[in-house]
C-alpha cells in the first residue's frame, strides 16, 4: 500500500531562503547565516590588516588595531565562547580598512 503524501509547515531563512522543518533550527541558522547583514564583516573583504589569529578559523588579529578579532563564526562555536570577552567582534565598517587583493590581482 503506497504511503500518503504529507503536508508540513516549513520555515525559510529570510536571508538565504534555506528551509527547515523545525522553527528553532531556522531561527538559529538565521542568527549565524553568512548572508545575515549583522554577520557582514568588513575585515573579511580582503583587509590588508587582517591576520590569522593562530587558533581556529574564527580567530583573527588586526595589525592596525593591534587587537584580537572574532567573526560571527566564533559565536556559534562552543569552544570559542570562553574567549570572546577578550576579543573584538569584527566591525561592519572600519576606518582602518584597506583592500588588499594581493599581487595576483
Ligand atoms: Zn540563511
Give the environment of ion ligand 1: residues with CB less than 5 A: 13, 15-16, 18, 33
- Are both 48 and 6 inside the same structural domain? no
Domain coverage including residue 31 = 1-39
The pLDDT tens digits of the residues spanning 10-25 come to 999 999 999 999 999 9
> What is the C-alpha to C-alpha distance for residues 33 and 20, in angstroms, rounded to an integer?
13
Looking at the structure of the chain, the number of domains it has is: 2
pTM of structure = 0.76
What pLDDT band is residue 103 in, cutting at 50, 70 and 90? low
What integer pLDDT is reported at residue 26 of this predicted model?
Answer: 98
Question: How much is the pLDDT for 11?
Answer: 98
User: Looking at the structure, do residues 34 and 46 belong to the same domain, yes or no?
Assistant: no
Q: Give yes or no: residues 50 and 81 share one domain.
A: yes
Same-domain status, 50 and 101:
yes
Cell output for 53: 589569529
End-to-end CA distance of the chain: 61
How far does residue 13's CA lie from ligand 1's centre (Å)?
5
**Based on the domain organization, do 52 and 97 belong to the same domain?**
yes
All residues at 6 or more sequence positions from 5 whose CB lies less than 8 Å from its CB, including other chains: none
How far is the centre of ligand 1, averaged over its atoms, from the C-alpha of 78 (Å)? 20
C-alpha 34/C-alpha 20 separation (Å) is: 16
pLDDT computed for residue 84 by the predictor: 85
- In the numeric block, the cell 583592500 is attached to 99
Residue 66 shares a structural domain with residue 30 = no
- Nearest Cα neighbor of 42 from 90, 89, 75, 7 is 90
Amino acid at each position: 500500500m503506497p504511503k500518503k503524501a504529507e503536508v508540513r509547515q516549513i520555515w525559510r531563512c529570510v536571508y538565504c531562503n534555506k528551509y527547515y522543518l523545525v522553527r528553532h533550527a531556522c531561527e538559529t541558522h538565521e542568527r549565524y547565516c553568512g548572508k545575515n547583514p549583522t554577520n557582514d564583516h568588513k575585515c573579511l573583504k580582503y583587509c590588508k590588516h587582517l591576520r590569522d589569529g593562530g587558533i581556529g578559523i574564527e580567530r583573527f588579529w588586526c595589525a592596525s588595531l593591534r587587537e584580537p578579532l572574532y567573526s560571527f563564526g566564533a559565536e556559534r562555536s562552543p569552544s570559542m565562547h570562553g574567549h570572546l570577552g577578550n576579543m573584538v567582534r569584527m566591525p561592519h565598517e572600519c576606518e582602518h580598512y584597506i583592500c588588499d587583493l594581493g599581487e595576483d590581482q
